[in-house]
A and B are shown apart, each in its own frame.
Chain A
Amino acid sequence: MKRRAHTFLVGLWTWLAAAGVAGAEQRFPPPDFESGYQLPVTQTPAPRAEWLQYFDVLVLLIALGLACHLILRKRSRAGVVGLSLFSLLYFGFYREGCICAIGSVQNVALALFDRSYALPVTVLVFCLVPIVFSLVVGRAFCAAVCPHGALQDLVLLKPVKVPAWLEHALGVLPYLYLGAGVMFAATGSAFLICRYDPFVPLFRLSGSVLMLTTGAAFVVLGMFVGRPYCRFVCPYGALLRLGALVARWRVRVTPDFCTQCQLCEHSCPFGAMREPTAPAANPAAQSADRRRLGWLLLLLPVLIAAGAWLGGKLSVPLSRLDPNVALAEKFLDPRKAAPLPGVQTPQSLALGRAEDNPKELLAAAAAARQKFAAASWLFGGWVGLVIGVKLIGLSLRVARTDFEPDRGACFGCARCFSFCPNERVRLGLQPAPANLPAPAAVAATAASVPPAKPA
């Protein structure tokens, strides 16, 4: 290598001074400039200001409050669309999908299991506040605050009805995805939910080809299937669905009584409307139903045990998603190819690091393996539990006299309200029919759902 051009005619005192400043020997001592040259300072552009992150939290809280007001009090689809647009622009295109409640579940899981990971307070708030809201008012977050939901809701053109069997089968996926996301985050291996998020690359207008294509595919699918990601993939939606099942207040379509006109059922693009159940089932069928329920309840522990056993078997392949385990396996592989001299690929560099300090890597990999041994077992049990509970849920009878939205499946998009003839009467859009029931009965129904009712 030519070093002809460099001058070594620098005084010894300069060399010593430089060594003193730098604390180590330099191949080429820093020059002693005679022309009064000033050393440029290395620029360090600051990250996004901290207060802006708290501002995001404030926007989230205001948007959630507004969503509740628009869905339950104002019952206004136009308002929900407006708020969705704002959320899409702010949390989607301005914040570029980060910070997002969907991914924050993983940070919380990592913080629970890894004591060295300091969870930012803003992330904790983003994860928990929509859940708390779901326990009170249902999925207000999905309705108009989540940019993923807003994007899919706004591109919906002509919804097709998803057959019930498919809806139920695919409805299990979000829980499995949630379990997998939490498992990989808790073991500190990967943030799957963020890695395979289809919409964030669209918000950023950049990303890997695979994820951009997936995002585009979801948008195209979303034109004909209402909110495909929310219904069949979103792990955070799965959590909010559970919250909404036990929510204090819920969306009711009709402001007073149901005329059973089915207009609301046709208006719902997400298949969330449930029809009234037949009033009296014949006793023979009922006892058959009970027997099936009993069998399913007995099957539940069997499913959990089978899942846990299977999960335990999958521990080793699952752990390969951990980068340390993957590298350690390559390092220990006796058949690994000898590195080509002079050619440095990322793989050969990684193996070189492993050879330099095998102890550290093998210890990290062994620790990850151990975590996966427990986590995959739990994950398998979770899969069994989800399938078992789904089967039990399918064989439970719910008594309904009116058309009403399913507590868990309803996103609160507010589409159905304006389709209800009684809502149109309430809004003064059409005259009240002559055979209106007695005002006392109307008041009694109204009292059961206070926030949805105008005074």
Chain B
Amino acid sequence: MAAGLSQEEPVNRRQFLRGGLRVAAMTGVGALVGALAGRSATDGTVWQIDPARCLRCGQCATECVLEQSAVKCVHTHAICGYCELCTGYFVPDPNALNTGAENQLCPTAAIRRKYVEDPYYEYTIDENLCIGCGKCVEGCNRFGNGSLYLQIRHDRCLNCNECSIARVCPGDAIHRVPARHPYLLKTTVSH
């Protein structure tokens, strides 16, 4: 114990240095808070696809960190033409206009086709089957009204700090949007 007490002088000098550095670090943290407080937002952000920039490359299906991508096809029915020959639903040159698997463009048969009235058919997306590959989106945008488009579904999205799809998106279509307005839904026609 005597040895311990005789060491008190240098320990005090170190303690003083430590105290000084600690105060400096606390001041630094305070300054950081001061600098960022004005610019921070109480509500967070989420990732979303801008349908106008989406190039339908298909990587949304494969690049998401989730095993089943958080990107799904959504349908704005107000823009839909309810076509009997839906170019988002049928492969080019289909054998017949029915729900036969060989006629469907969707690799997982996630689009449901329902007769409404002559000659209109309703198309709805089964999100549990949709993988977000955007094949239907390409068909609908190239030849139809463009009422099918991809959106990040926020009941599935983990809101990663760095969206792994945004990183490889060729259209640079995925950006952070305010969490209060988490969707970029189409309301007007664009091809």
* Given A47-B154, A50-B43, A124-B36, residue A248 in contact with residue B22 (CB < 8 A): yes
CB distance from A58 to the nearest CB of B (A): 15
With A5-B119, A121-B41, A201-B65 already in contact, the answer to whether A31 and B81 are too (CB < 8 A) is: yes
Given contacts A42-B76, A347-B170, A401-B4, contact A195 B83 (CB under 8 A): no
Q: Known contacts A2-B85, A121-B42; is A107 also within 8 Å of B189 by CB?
A: no
B129 to chain A, nearest CB (A): 15
| Contact A6 B167, CB 8 Å, known A1-B87, A246-B22, A445-B4 | no
Task: State whether A346 and B170 are in contact (beta carbons under 8 Å apart), knowing that A42-B76, A119-B40 are contacts in the complex.
Answer: yes
Quick check: A204 and B66 within 8 Å, CB to CB?
A: yes
Chain A neighbourhood of B76, CB < 8 A: 42
- Chain A 344-395 residues near chain B, CB threshold 8 A: 344-347, 349-350, 352-353
Q: Does A333 contact B (CB under 8 A)?
A: no
> Which residues of chain B are near A48, meaning CB under 8 Å?
154, 159
> Could you mark each residue 37-61 of chain A with 1 if its beta carbon is under 8 Å from any beta carbon of chain B, else 0?
1011111111110100100000000
Q: Do A44 and B29 have beta carbons less than 8 Å apart?
A: no
9 contacts between A and B (CB under 8 A): A4-B85, A28-B144, A33-B117, A50-B44, A98-B158, A121-B42, A206-B65, A352-B55, A353-B170
A37 near B29 with CB under 8 A, answer no
Interface assignment of A257: CB less than 8 Å from any CB of chain B: yes
- With A5-B85, A204-B158 given, is the CB distance from A35 to B116 under 8 Å? yes
| Bound Cα distance from A112 to B74, whole angstroms | 36
Nearest residue (CB) in B for A193 is B161
Indicate if A435 sits at the interface (CB-CB under 8 A): no
Partner of B75, one of A42, A191, A242: A42
- Whether the Cβ atoms of B162 and A191 lie closer than 8 Å is yes
Contact partner of A124 (CB less than 8 A), chosen from B40, B84, B154, B170, is B40
Given contacts A107-B161, A346-B57, contact A120 B41 (CB under 8 A): yes
Given contacts A121-B40, A353-B171, A401-B7, 10 further A-B contacts (CB under 8 A): A1-B87, A21-B78, A31-B81, A50-B179, A98-B159, A119-B36, A120-B43, A206-B66, A349-B55, A445-B4
1/0 per position for B65-104, CB-CB distance to A under 8 A? 1110000001111111111110100001100010000000
List B residues at the A interface (Cβ < 8 Å).
1, 3-5, 7, 10-11, 18-19, 21-22, 25-26, 29, 32-33, 35-36, 39-46, 55, 57-59, 65-67, 74-85, 87, 92-93, 97, 116-117, 119-120, 122, 124, 143-145, 153-155, 157-162, 164, 167-168, 170-172, 176, 179, 182-183, 185, 187-191
Inter-chain contact A120/B40, CB cutoff 8 Å? yes
Most chain B beta-carbon neighbours within 10 Å: one of A29, A248, A346: A346
B158 A96 Cβ-Cβ under 8 A? yes
Please name the residue on chain A nearest to B118 by beta carbon.
Answer: A7
Distance in angstroms between the alpha carbons of A120 and B182 in the assembled complex: 15
CA distance A40 to B124 in the complex (A): 9
Q: Take A28-B144, A246-B21 as given contacts and tell me if A6 and B161 are in contact as well, using a CB distance cutoff of 8 Å.
A: no
Verify B57–A344 contact, CB threshold 8 A: yes
Interface residues on A, range: 35 or more
Whole-angstrom distance between the Cβ of B142 and the nearest chain A Cβ: 9
In the bound complex, how far is the Cα of B79 from the Cα of A22, in angstroms?
A: 7
The one of B22, B33, B92 in contact with A1, judged by C-beta atoms closer than 8 angstroms, is: B92
Chain B residues in 8 Å Cβ range of A29? 81
Cα A131 to Cα B25 with chains together (Å): 9
Question: Which residues of chain A are within 8 angstroms of B25 by Cβ–Cβ distance?
Answer: 131, 135, 242-243, 246
Complex Cα gap A26–B66 (Å): 35
Which residues in A have their C-beta under 8 angstroms from that of B55?
349, 352-353
Q: How far is the CA of A195 from the CA of B97 in the complex (A)?
A: 45
Do the beta carbons of B161 and A191 come within 8 Å of each other?
yes
For residue B191, which residues in chain A have a CB less than 8 angstroms away from its CB? 27
Q: Complex: how many Å from CA A390 to CA B16?
A: 22
CB of A122 within 8 A of chain B? yes
A103 in the interface (beta carbon within 8 A)? yes
- Is B119 in contact with A131, judged by CB distance below 8 angstroms? no
How far is B66's CA from A292's CA once the two chains are assembled, in angstroms?
Answer: 54
Q: With A and B bound together, what is the CA distance between A247 and B22 in angstroms?
A: 7
Given contacts A7-B119, A37-B116, A399-B10, contact A28 B41 (CB under 8 A): no
Kindly list the 6 A-B residue pairs having the minimum CB-CB distance in the complex, ordered from nearest.
Answer: A28-B81, A350-B170, A45-B155, A191-B162, A5-B84, A118-B41
- The residues of B that contact A96 with a CB separation of less than 8 Å are 158
Q: Closest residue of chain B to A324, judged by CB?
A: B172
CA distance A401 to B41 in the complex (A): 50
Is A46's CB under 8 angstroms from B81's CB?
A: no
B153 near A24 with CB under 8 A, answer: no
